[in-house]
Structure 1
Amino acid sequence: MRVLMFGWEFPPHISGGLGTACYGLVKGMVHHNQEVIFVVPKLWGDEEELADFVNASDITIDYREKKFKSIWKNLTYLEVSSFLVPYLGPEEYQKFTDYAIHDRTDVDESIFTTKYEFSGKYGKNLMEEVSRYALTAAQIARDRDDYEIIHAHDWLSFPAGIAAKEISGKPLVAHVHATEYDRSGESVNKPVFEIEKAGMEAADHVVAVSQLTKNTIIRRYGIPAEKVSVLHNAVLDASIIKSKYVKKVPEKIVTFLGRITFQKGPEYFVEAAKKVLDRDENVRFVMAGSGDLLNRMIDRVAELRMGHKFHFTGFLKGEDVDHMYAISDVYIMPSVSEPFGIAPLEAVRHNTPTVISKQSGVAEVLQNAIKIDYWDVDAMADATFALLHYQGISKMFKELGSEELKNLKWEHVAARLVKIYEKTLAQ
């Protein structure tokens, strides 16, 4: 089978879990001898040659075709006053300044040049790029006929998937890695919600990364349950990583690693840290990441007078992430609403005991972790204290967790995805 797949990023140039998931899925597809045409806004030239990559920045669009005009009329366009990333908290969404349906005459003419150089980033022209990406997708879908099905990842690529389906008439699978309700709670950004809803409605089938996400899709977006399949994420390598990296401090280390945004629940991590330190001062807490709540977390740590035991590293990538897991005695993911959450699986690979919120998709597949409600900072503190002080508990989770990873491989996920493709084509 040959799949025309639209994503927004691909390793090594990524901003979060979306790019990692795309990489794992494509690698799993290759394992099963499936062919993928993977389209991204911008290629950097150092991507692993797993797919037939298409650089959207190289595509020339022929505007003489009437269908391109009709596609553009159906696209939404946002003007954004500051930089953003694919998963935003409510504070960042307040910076969105305008929303309108645009026709060809009332946008910058640069979007209608025959070729468009995508930034490949999440800057202030993001929604212009999302719209242009959809036009480019239509051109690619028209020019190529060597694929059977279309697959689009998350809201950034949904308009592209819709446009490709309109041009080609081939079925579309919409892959939901996160919803606007995960990112913002009840303070949803209406335009992004509408893009998500349109993508799911236009799709012939919807893939959700967890049952938690499927429930949201059914309840919040009105998509029929029979149209949605659950396909959990996995790990690229199930083997345990034995790092030689040694921590430079004598204390135990407890780590939060992720975006410092509403969705990830960083404030609960800070409050639990205070409760642990009240019982044992021989612990250091690390918050690794960046996001709109970073300054607020720094202020709260100062208010609680634990700055000497609390460290903010900023955004980590590559080997720095591996080193952080390696020196951590406990990893905590206190997410308020986590569609899946690959980070705990990576922590397990590094033999790091984990505490995860029950409000996460990974809790559906990772049995050997301590699960708490994100808001229950007392339970979070108790779990952390136990893992730090009772070696029998810590050892048990390390051993059982490593065994559990063997069933969480991307090739297993890809095999199930192929069956979803076959079912969708049959229908």
Structure 2
Amino acid sequence: MKVLMFGWEFPPHISGGLGTACYGLVKGLAHHNQDMIFVVPKLWGDEDPLAEFVNASDVEIDYREKRFRSVWKNLTYLEVGSFLIPYLSPEQYASFTQGIKEGKENLEDSVFSTKFSFSGKYGKDLIQEVSRYALVAAQIAKDKHHDIIHAHDWLAFPAGIAAKSISGKPLVAHVHATEFDRSGQTVNQQVYEIERAGMEAADKIIAVSQLTKNTIVANYGIPEDKVVVVHNAVLDTSAIKSKEVKKVPEKIVTFLGRITFQKGPEYFVEAAAKVLRKDDNVRFVMAGSGDLLNRMIQRVAELRIGTKFHFTGFLRGKDVDHMFAISDVYVMPSVSEPFGISPLEAVRHNTPVIISKQSGVAEVLQNAVKVDFWDIDAMADAIFALLHYDGISRMFKELGREELKRLKWEHVALKVIKVYKETVNQ
């Protein structure tokens, strides 16, 4: 069986957990000799060769193909601010866009072929890139033999839909997060519509947690039996014995993630203030970047804890490992976390973790302190206990390491392969 997989990023060039999860899954599937074509908007040339990689920026599209007409019409629901094919001469652009407005454009009579250069990032033209990516996906689906299509999150859902419309092969939509996780109840309607279209078009949906499945069923109207839960894992379950040495005498408590509504950074700041009132021999670190960063800096100043609170900015690679290694406690106070791999990485570094009950990882990581994200008193008490009672801290470290051994991507990959087989056989 050959899988045509669409993602948006792949290590080492990533912006968050989506790329890491894609890498883990692809590596796990490769371990079981699964044949894969992995497509991303932009390749950098230093990706681990675990699959047949396709750089969408190198794919030339021939609009004379009749089948592209239906793909184009299906993409118009995205309602972007400008048209989806901007790389034309003024004459071609005027002619093409006028035809779309009138609904009479005949794509098979077009006389041009083209290809797009993708940034592969998350800028202001993201929706346009998502749309163009879908057009490229249609061409790839025409050119590359495959038995099933696998699309990761809303960024790749239109690509999955387009590929399915061309090849007729079944589509698996992999939901790592929903718009409700990212934005709460103030959802971006455009992104929500893309997500719902992808889920409705899919033959099967993989959710990274039961929490995510519940959101899909309740908020997107998807039948429960269409969604299967497959939890994430970690790339390496072995314990890391770091030689990093703390350069400060205080205990260190760390938040590491995007500083956005979804991750609950404000609750971490408020809990930090409560802990520091009891014990000022602690330093708190907020590692990451995001739209709430300035607000968190301002709140730290208002609470007068700036001398004990540090903002590192976005960390990657060895800097992340260093941060985990010198931390005495790791806290993930997410408001809504579909899964959350970072606590598993903290456990690998022998760091006890506190996680919100509103996270998917809480379903698989039993030996962690779990609190409601909004309960800053419970969060502060848990931090204080792990910092001051060695027996409790040691227990969570030891049990966490044992538990981690079960959470391998090779095991996850076997579950995904089972989904492939069942979907193809339906």
- Judged with a 3 Å threshold, the aligned counterparts in structure 2 of structure 1 residues 178 and 372 are, in CA distance, closer, same or farther, namely same
* Structure 1 segment 87-236 matched on structure 2, within 5 A: 105=100, 114-145=114-145, 147-236=146-235
Partner residue, 2:326: 327
SS at match of 1:341: coil
Q: Distance in 2 between matches of 1:129 and 1:69?
A: 19
The match for 1:61 is: 61
1:20-419 pair list within 5 angstroms: 20-75=20-75, 76-79=78-81, 105=100, 114-145=114-145, 147-419=146-418
Q: Read off the aligned partner of 1:64 and give its amino acid letter.
A: R
Q: Output the CA distance in 1 between the equivalents of 2:36 and 2:234.
A: 20
Does structure 1 conserve the Cα–Cα contact (< 8 Å) formed by 2:255 and 2:268?
yes
Give 1:375 deviation, angstroms: 0.1
Cα distance between partner residues in 1 of 2:61 and 2:166? 13
Q: Cα offset for 1:69? A: 2.6
Amino acid at match of 2:142: R
Match of 2:89 in 1: none
Provide the C-alpha distance between the structure 1 equivalents of 2:302 and 2:124, rounded to a whole number of angstroms: 34
Contact 1:72-1:103 at 8 Å conserved across structures: no
5+ residue gaps, structure 1: 81-101, 107-111
Are the structure 2 counterparts of residues 418 and 304 from structure 1 closer, same or farther at C-alpha, using a change threshold of 3 Å?
A: same
SS of corresponding position for 2:114: coil
SS of 1:238's equivalent in the other structure is coil
The superposition leaves residues 294-336 of structure 1 with CA deviations (integer Å, 9 ceiling, x where unpaired) of 0000000000000000000000001000000000000000000
Q: 1:280 to 1:113 in 2, by over 3 A?
A: farther
Question: What amino acid maps onto 1:296 in structure 2?
Answer: R
Quote the offset at 1:131 in angstroms.
Answer: 0.5
Deviations 1:177-216 (A, max 9, x none): 0000001111001010000000000000000000000000
SS in 2 for 1:78: coil
Q: Deviations over 1:113-133 (max 9, x none)?
A: 611111111112111110010
Separation in 1, partners of 2:158, 2:265: 32
Distance 1:6 1:193 in 2: 19
How many angstroms does 1:271 deviate by?
0.2
Secondary structure of the structure 1 residue equivalent to 2:316: coil
Contact conserved, 1:79 with 1:125, CA < 8 A, in 2?
Answer: no
SS of the equivalent of 2:355 reads strand
Residue 73 (structure 1) shift = 2.1
Q: Which amino acid aligns with 1:198?
A: A
CA distance in 2, matches of 1:263, 1:103: 41
CA change 1:221–1:400 in 2 (3 A) is same
Is the 8 Å Cα contact of residues 204 and 226 (structure 2) preserved in structure 1?
yes
Hey, what's the Cα distance between the residues in 1 that align with 2:379 and 2:282? Answer: 15
Paired residue for 2:109? none
Distance (whole Å) between structure 1 residues aligned to residue 166 and residue 220 of structure 2 = 25
Distance apart, 1:65 and its partner CA:
1.4
Give, in whole Å, the separation in 2 of the partners of 1:301 and 1:213: 32
Match of 1:95 in 2: none
CA contact (8 A) 1:174 1:205 kept: yes
By how many angstroms is 1:2 displaced? 1.4
Structure 1 contact 6–157 (Cα < 8 Å) conserved: yes
* Distance in 2 (alpha carbons) for counterparts of 1:164 and 1:126: 20
TM-score normalized by the length of structure 2:
0.92
Deviations 1:221-267 (A, max 9, x none): 00000000000000000000111111110000000000000000000
Aligned mates of 1:345, 1:78 — CA distance in 2:
38
CA distance in 2, matches of 1:105, 1:323: 53
Q: Which amino acid aligns with 1:55?
A: N
User: Is the CA contact (8 Å cut-off) linking 1:77 and 1:131 kept in structure 2?
Assistant: no
Match of 1:10 in 2: 10
Write out per-residue CA displacement over residues 392-424 of structure 1, whole angstroms, 9 at most, x where no aligned residue. Answer: 000000000000011000000000000011111
**CA distance in 1: counterparts of 2:329 and 2:173, whole angstroms:** 35
Distance change in 2, residues 1:405/1:103 (3 Å): farther
Contact 1:43 1:55 in 2 (8 A): yes
Q: Following the alignment from structure 1 to structure 2, what is the Cα–Cα distance between the partners of residues 315 and 141?
A: 36
Maintained 8 Å contact 1:238/1:409: yes
Tell me the SS of whatever aligns to 1:10: coil
Counterparts in 2 of 1:323 and 1:79: CA distance versus 1, 3 Å: farther
Extract structure 1 runs of 4+ deviating beyond 6 A: none
Contact 2:175 2:208 in 1 (8 A): yes
Aligned counterpart, 1:84: none
Counterpart amino acid of residue 135 in structure 2: L
What SS is found at the alignment partner of 2:37?
Answer: strand
Q: Percent identity?
A: 78
**Superposition RMSD in Å:** 1.2
Can you list the C-alpha shifts for 1:349-407, whole angstroms capped at 9, x where unaligned?
00000000000000000000000000000000000000000000000000000000110
Q: What amino acid sits opposite 1:63 in the alignment?
A: Y
More off after superposition, 256-265 vs 122-131: 122-131
Q: Which runs of 5+ in 2 are unaligned?
A: 83-96, 102-111
Alpha-carbon distance between aligned partners in 1 of 2:80 and 2:234, rounded to the nearest angstrom: 35
In 1: Cα distance, 2:184 partner to 2:126 partner: 22
| TM value normalised by structure 1 | 0.92
